[in-house]
Homo-oligomer: A and B are copies of this chain.
Amino acid sequence: MSKHFAIIAGVGGGTGRSIALKFAKAYPVVLLSRTPTSYEATVQEINATGGQAVGISADLTDVESTQSAFSQIKKLYPEGHLAAAIFNAAALVRQPFLELTPQAFQQGLTNSVTAGFNFSQATLPLLLQCAQVESSGTLSPTLIFTGATASLKGSPNFAAFAAGKFALRGMAQSLAREFGPQGVHVAHSIIDGIIDTPVTKGWGFNGAKLTPEAIADSYWYLHMQPRAAFTFELDLRPSSEKW
């Protein structure tokens, strides 16, 4: 029986949920969100359909909260190997620059790269452990970050969001180059378009949105890549997107 498991951070009703459902087909999954309301329905859905899921409330922008969550995780899977860790947390900030408060700007950074840092520091030791065990096999333990159009382009009124997303990408690149040779696959996905989620239902763009399922499939594909061909950056957009 597989001792592998996966952790998905940032699970609400959209992309995070689909990623959790996808990875739950292969592994027990841990879902991290600030509040149970974000993950409860998805945890139930997975457990009700033959998978194994656990939800843990954690504020990844906070070091202690992160550490506390990972203490619980290690108790849950004392002999488990972390096969995949997905950082999908995000919080859009859009505001004219001179109307941004220092707090709002800081939030743009913290929700993105500080949370990503805390998540990476907690998961990389576990992923490295898994890489040692799997060194002769084909499974590559994987750390995936969700990026956005704003990871590559700072648009007007997006100073806070772009700062956070650029920073996350810079950190992810550094991690990919540092941990790739040790067998951990670090990847970054550019989600270049609107995702079809409960939140964006009313926005129009019919047939011109990314689906959470398609994103989840792509993340699974990244996880399946062998050491002989790792992708760092995967751009994803609807076929009709202007870019």
Contacts and interface: CB of A to CB of B under 8 A. Distances in A.
A184 to B, nearest CB: 8
A211 B238 CA distance: 30
Given A109-B167, A114-B109, A164-B167, A180 B102 contact: no
Contact of A174 (B121, B124, B159, B171): B159
A136 to B, nearest CB: 12
> By DSSP majority rule, is chain A's interface helix, strand, loop, or mixed?
helix
A163 B171 contact: yes
A189 to B, nearest CB: 9
B98 A124 contact: yes
Contact of A241 (B160, B166, B180, B243): B180
A17 interface: no
A81 interface: no
B238 A230 contact: yes
Size bracket of the A interface:
35 or more
Given A98-B121, A154-B174, A218-B225, 14 more contacts: A97-B124, A98-B125, A100-B121, A102-B118, A154-B170, A154-B177, A162-B170, A166-B171, A167-B167, A215-B229, A221-B221, A227-B240, A230-B236, A231-B234
A216 to B, nearest CB: 10
21 contacts: A97-B124, A109-B109, A154-B170, A154-B173, A154-B175, A155-B173, A159-B170, A162-B171, A163-B174, A181-B239, A196-B228, A210-B228, A210-B229, A211-B226, A213-B228, A214-B229, A227-B239, A227-B240, A228-B238, A230-B239, A231-B236
